[in-house]
Chain A
Amino acid sequence: MRYAYYPGCSLHSTASDYQQSIDSVFRKLSVELQEVEDWTCCGASAAHVSDPLLPLVLPARDLIKVEKMALDVMVPCAACYNRMRTTNYKLRENVELRKTVNQILQADYRADVRVRHISDVVVNDCGLEAIARLLEKDLKGMKVVCYYGCLSARPQKIVAFDDPVYPSYLDRLIKTLGGEAIEWPFKTECCGGSFSVSKKEVVLKLTHELLDMAQSLGAEAVVVDCPLCQFNLDFRQEEVEERYRKRFSLPVFYFTQLLGASLGLGAETLGLKKLNIDPFPLLERKNIRT
């Protein structure tokens, strides 16, 4: 299997551990990722709140590069994924708009590149049965909540590849790895996303609600597949604890890190030391040596 790969800006900075675990896990799964050459930012929130064309032009620039590779493109960041899917959708729906965007790009993009979320590729293309055959370690009933967030679920008709309100693909993966995925009501609630810096109060409140619910249901960790969610839940966690006078100490894993650990990969190659809340006490309790 081969995919074009669009990492997005976070994977080169605050989510470099996500990137490391993706590299090693996909090698182990024998899936080849070919990074889109000279890719640029999707524009994120800043583009779509300030201009009608920029949030389409920016992802389209990258998608045109993918089109030339004649592959599906796999995207690990929910925000980039959402922007790319939205661009394709809008350009397909509105011929005039597509003409305008193509005129700006001096291109002839038909908006038919298939944009795939990383979890969709792992769970549905690689498949849980094939993954089960490769496992070397067992999560030994580790209790986690799988947190999916907003941008790979909504708007449903544009981005969803599972139930948009109560998805289960990460839960099913965790069960395959021998963990226990706790049912919980906040799977697709919002963490505050890009307000982490410019409106931190909102992020602290929303992540507090998520962490509090996870803990009250007995979760030992949170599993995510979005760099924004991971950042807010993990790197803002001590501030949440201070603000709300509670103790959580809940590690927040990228799903690729737990998958990698189960595939027998080491802590270094999975970037586990880059997590803010130390995951090693939990991993040792479960006797998972990485």
Chain B
Amino acid sequence: MKITLGDQSRSFAEKISGMIGQNIDGCYQCGKCTAGCPIAYTMELSPHEIIRLVQLGRDQETLASHTIWLCASCETCTSRCPKNIDVAGVMDALRVLAFRQGQTQAEKEITLFHKLFLKVVERFGRVNDLSLMGKYNLLTLNPLRDWRLGHKLFSKGKLKLATPKVKGVREFQELLKRTRAFRGEGP
């Protein structure tokens, strides 16, 4: 495949470099990140390939990939990189951009879970598992997902019907609004 590098391609690499506070061109494709990645077996583009595509400015291929969402942020790649590239940080940067562009189709369920998680936190100040799972099951049209697990957790007193709202929840919600205003748009 012939790839011509233009200004456009450099600007994407520079954008990601800026977001992680490192020069991503440092990566020389040794593949150590991929070798240690516990999820690489199910990624269509492995971690070192993602880094290469960023260097080459292939923004759409990376942002539309499954890989960025499948990263579990275990940080094995980051801790092993001989060039100290924060590979997991690159995945975060790409996910942030993909969220902003509404590019979440590759892994709809994972991205929906993240969005609902933050919604529940914004409402209560903390996670309420029942509320989160209820919404998630409803929106993924899978109302019985994990019902057996839910029953077990409930019978062991591990799921509470209500999360006591934190006292300063209004102030907390204001804080989230200010954070979003600072960032422009977010998920």
Contacts and interface: CB of A to CB of B under 8 A. Distances in A.
A41 B92 contact: no
A100 B178 CA distance: 11
A215 interface: no
Given A51-B179, A194-B72, A274 B95 contact: no
A13 B183 contact: no
Interface stretch (B27-35, B45-53, B55-63, B155-163): B155-163
How would you classify the secondary structure of chain B's contact residues: helix, strand, loop or mixed? Answer: helix
Contact of A150 (B76, B115, B127, B157): B76
Contacts of B179: 51, 53-54, 57, 104
Nearest to B38: A190
Contact of B127 (A13, A154, A236): A13
Interface string B154-184: 0011111001001110001001101100110
Q: Which 4 A-B pairs have the closest CB atoms?
A: A154-B75, A198-B113, A46-B117, A190-B74
Contact of B74 (A38, A154, A156): A154
Given A38-B167, A104-B179, A197 B70 contact: no
A49 B78 CA distance: 16
Given A41-B125, A206-B38, A235-B152, A50 B118 contact: yes
A17 B168 CA distance: 27
Nearest to A103: B182
Interface residues of A, number: 55
Contacts of B79: 154-156, 164
Most chain B CB within a 10 A radius of its CB, from A151, A190, A194: A190
A270 to B, nearest CB: 14
B133 interface: yes
Contacts of A124: none
A54 B182 CA distance: 10
A157 to B, nearest CB: 9
Interface string A191-203: 0111101110110
A276 B110 contact: no
A52 interface: yes
B146 interface: yes
A164 B36 CA distance: 15
A16 B157 contact: yes
